[in-house]
Structure 1
């Protein structure tokens, strides 16, 4: 029986879109999570790990302090946490490709804007005061930051501030409040982070096993396995066309001298245009299939 001190602890957002995507990532990596979406913790049934469901703002603190060895959090939250810190206590292991959004400046449609200089002397409402302050410093602008915990898009209507700095996903919320997006402060997505506090050998081995699975899942997101037949004289051109492929496997075709089967893992998207180029180069019987699992 493994003790809690031997298990890994992974901090996830308690609820919301990022929580759902994080659970899906772990399930794709083969981890069977005990039901308990509305509780604060859940064991992984087939791996020595426990999930901790917390507010997204608390995830960087949990990982930095070593309470959790790993965490999945949005870059916007992570960078707001670290904007004025020197000892971060964590490292970013991977960008996960989900939870994409943009921290943008926005203003009423009628508000003139000709770049960051237009912010000078203005009041800007935001839930990300440190990131906004960094943006203003980088652009040598002196403005007043009004910190709000929510409903930032209402600030201009309530005359709390002339501008806002808020997360934008589809832009529908801005449009509903007669606001237009301006400059980008930060492009964000979910990231996997790990504490920099030392782990004992047992827990380090468990962590390596977990990362191997997750890296395999991430590697298969865009990867495809492609198979085709080709004459020997076309192999060089075909290899050059294959997108993001390492050295392909080339096997002589039985009963067809001078012809070969070509198999390759392509770590970039394979488009119809690519298939047409392969066919024009001499390939035939081209087959592209998704990869369910891959151990790196």
Structure 2
């Protein structure tokens, strides 16, 4: 019987969509159908478990799933609630589904700073993370747990403020709220337990994470190609953001001109291109990288 690795993923929502996209960028072929709880990868021995996000860490801890993709905020909440009983740790950060866990309050209300929280109630879906933050900052406030519609709490007098996830801030603005403190910067993470996977599953895991790492590295990387005077090589390579040793190629028929090619792992801004041009670069081409494996 073929050994298959199990990977738990949120069934619906932004994290689900971005997780599916990342896996498909890794070359995995699968389809998700309706309310199905299992998706079989056709070209690699991997099964996707499609579950609620707050079940993923527990499934990994209990051995129901070998790996999981979950928001760091959800993992931390489970770690605070379950403590040492939870055997699920971050294996690697995945760089998508970024958001912030923030404290927010009515824009013109009585709560505008951390000190204003003393003696008040704070509505949240993350009582563990919030409680730890309040303790660390010596704030005497009461977390009120809500499973949804947290942003309504101040309006219906359940709490004076909220602690909730913020992506664009549009939901806060629509409810007359303003964020005044970020508690956590969160993103999607790959999690696993401390238990050994076994030889066969370890081999599948190694293939998967090698591809994931390649996708993560290539996401914000650009391939820069340009021609430049030989005398300006040092100045120009210093301007290329996050690049290792660039490739320098002599151009036939012109001893004073070279082609420079480099993988830049940081953002290449218009200002970067202008600075390159000011230093003698020409025919500058910046292209995205689809896959990159070291």
Out of 248-257 and 103-112, give the one that drifted further. Answer: 103-112
CA distance in 1 between counterparts of 2:59 and 2:156 reads: 36
Q: Given the superposition, is the C-alpha separation of residues 287 and 108 from structure 1 closer, same or farther in structure 2, using an over 3 Å criterion?
A: closer
Alignment: residue pair count: 293
CA distance in 2 between counterparts of 1:233 and 1:108 reads: 59
Q: Which of 209, 212, 228 is matched with 1:211 structurally? A: 209
CA distance in 1 between counterparts of 2:219 and 2:10 reads: 22
Q: Structure 2: which 5+ residue stretches go unaligned?
A: none
**Mapped contact 2:112–2:180 kept (Cα < 8 A):** no
CA distance in 2 between counterparts of 1:216 and 1:207 reads: 14
State the secondary structure of the residue aligned to 2:267.
Answer: coil
Query: Aligned residue for 2:89?
Result: 91
**Mapped contact 2:58–2:86 kept (Cα < 8 A):** no
For the pair 1:236 / 2:234, whether they are aligned, the reply is yes
Query: Aligned residue for 1:22?
Result: 19
Query: Aligned residue for 2:54?
Result: 57
Query: Aligned residue for 1:223?
Result: 221
Q: CA deviation at 1:87?
A: 5.5
For the pair 1:72 / 2:62, whether they are aligned, the reply is no
Q: Given the superposition, is the C-alpha separation of residues 149 and 247 from structure 1 closer, same or farther in structure 2, using an over 3 Å criterion?
A: same
**Mapped contact 2:9–2:49 kept (Cα < 8 A):** yes
**Mapped contact 2:30–2:40 kept (Cα < 8 A):** yes
State the secondary structure of the residue aligned to 2:234.
Answer: helix
Once the two structures are superposed, what CA deviation does each residue of 1:3-58 show, in whole Å capped at 9, x if it has no partner? xxx21111110001110110000011111113425310111111111100000001
CA distance in 2 between counterparts of 1:255 and 1:62 reads: 64
Q: Given the superposition, is the C-alpha separation of residues 175 and 231 from structure 1 closer, same or farther in structure 2, using an over 3 Å criterion?
A: closer
Q: Given the superposition, is the C-alpha separation of residues 110 and 275 from structure 1 closer, same or farther in structure 2, using an over 3 Å criterion?
A: closer
**Mapped contact 2:224–2:284 kept (Cα < 8 A):** yes
Once the two structures are superposed, what CA deviation does each residue of 1:142-168 show, in whole Å capped at 9, x if it has no partner? 222211111222222222222221222
CA distance in 2 between counterparts of 1:284 and 1:239 reads: 14
Q: Structure 1: which 5+ residue stretches go unaligned?
A: none
Q: CA deviation at 1:232?
A: 1.9
**Mapped contact 1:68–1:195 kept (Cα < 8 A):** no
**Mapped contact 1:59–1:73 kept (Cα < 8 A):** yes
Q: Which of 273, 278, 281 is matched with 2:279 structurally? A: 281
CA distance in 2 between counterparts of 1:234 and 1:172 reads: 47
Q: Give the TM-score normalised by the residue count of structure 2.
A: 0.93
For the pair 1:8 / 2:15, whether they are aligned, the reply is no
**Cα RMSD, aligned residues only:** 1.7
CA distance in 2 between counterparts of 1:155 and 1:287 reads: 52
CA distance in 1 between counterparts of 2:168 and 2:285 reads: 36
Q: Which of 58, 79, 82 is matched with 1:82 structurally? A: 79
Q: Which of 29, 37, 40 is matched with 1:40 structurally? A: 37
